Amino acid sequence: MTAMIHEQQTRAPAAEPKMTARDVRVFYGEKQAIKDVSIDVDMDNVTAFIGPSGCGKSTFLRTLNRMNDTVASARVEGAITLDGEDIYAPSMDVVQLRARVGMVFQKPNPFPKSIYENIAYGPRIHGLAHAKADLDVIVEKSLRRAGLWDEVKDRLHDSGTALSGGQQQRLCIGRAIAVEPEVILMDEPCSALDPIATAKIEELIHELRGRYAIVIVTHNMQQAARVSQRTAFFHLGELVEYGVTSDIFTNPKQERTKDYITGRYG
């Protein structure tokens, strides 16, 4: 019975999963930050991770492209697949994985290089382009897809770091897109941006939906409601409830979810 409830709680309804996590546990040294989390994410729906500060949203997000490998004390248990393939298998090429499962961080972090180079760097090292003309095509396509082309097409050789914060974040999204990812992970991508830049990123997320599986961590419930079709509520390292975003916000099944979305704690 518990297993059945758990399944209902964590299965995204009626869509083929792109990534699956089963009984994922994450430890920092002795401290357990994630407790037996199982969840599916798919291409058709943007998935939002919400929950109070320190509940493990970022930690869990980082398990999806093995970003926690870079933290010496972190240990991940359980199973995570991408198209059915175990991403923690010893044979998995982590550099390749992080191209397939791209990541956008809280603070825009363009390379201290030109706008063009920010986009061209990844495709070049991944061997996606051999001639300059191919790279030019990828740069334009990626910047268009990131909603930035019109603003930067006349200054592609200016530094990426000279752009506004919102433009820098769209550049980082373009950089992730350039290496043809299947999944894009976003860790509070708007928290350093003003409302107008935030609205542009949210619009962009709508446009990218369906082409990539998108997972976004946000501490902003209105943002989760605006951009996602699936919401996962985390609390104290547990996935408390996962479902259709409008259900989570209007008809949560778990008491803890209800308390959080009504602002009783957070």
Ligand X SMILES: Nc1ncnc2c1ncn2[C@@H]1O[C@H](COP(=O)(O)OP(=O)(O)OP(=O)(O)O)[C@@H](O)[C@H]1O
Considering the complex, state which of residue 28 and residue 88 has its C-beta at the smaller distance from ligand X.
28
Strand 31-42 with 17-28, pairing: antiparallel
Residue 160: CB minimum distance to ligand X, A = 25
Considering the complex, state which of residue 237 and residue 243 has its C-beta at the smaller distance from ligand X.
237
Considering the complex, state which of residue 126 and residue 219 has its C-beta at the smaller distance from ligand X.
219
Considering the complex, state which of residue 28 and residue 105 has its C-beta at the smaller distance from ligand X.
28
CA distance 258 to 249: 8
Residue 56: CB minimum distance to ligand X, A = 4
**Six-digit token string for 41:** 């994410």
Residue 88 burial (10 A CB sphere; 0-12, 13-18, 19+): middle
Residue 217: CB minimum distance to ligand X, A = 6
Residue 246: CB minimum distance to ligand X, A = 23
**Of 50, 54, 59, which Cα lies nearest the Cα of 263?**
50
Answer whether 174's CB lies under 8 Å from 119's CB.
Answer: yes
Residue 89: CB minimum distance to ligand X, A = 24
Residues that bind ligand X (CB under 6 A): 28, 33, 51, 53-59, 71, 73, 219
Answer whether 168's CB lies under 8 Å from 108's CB.
Answer: yes
Considering the complex, state which of residue 2 and residue 53 has its C-beta at the smaller distance from ligand X.
53
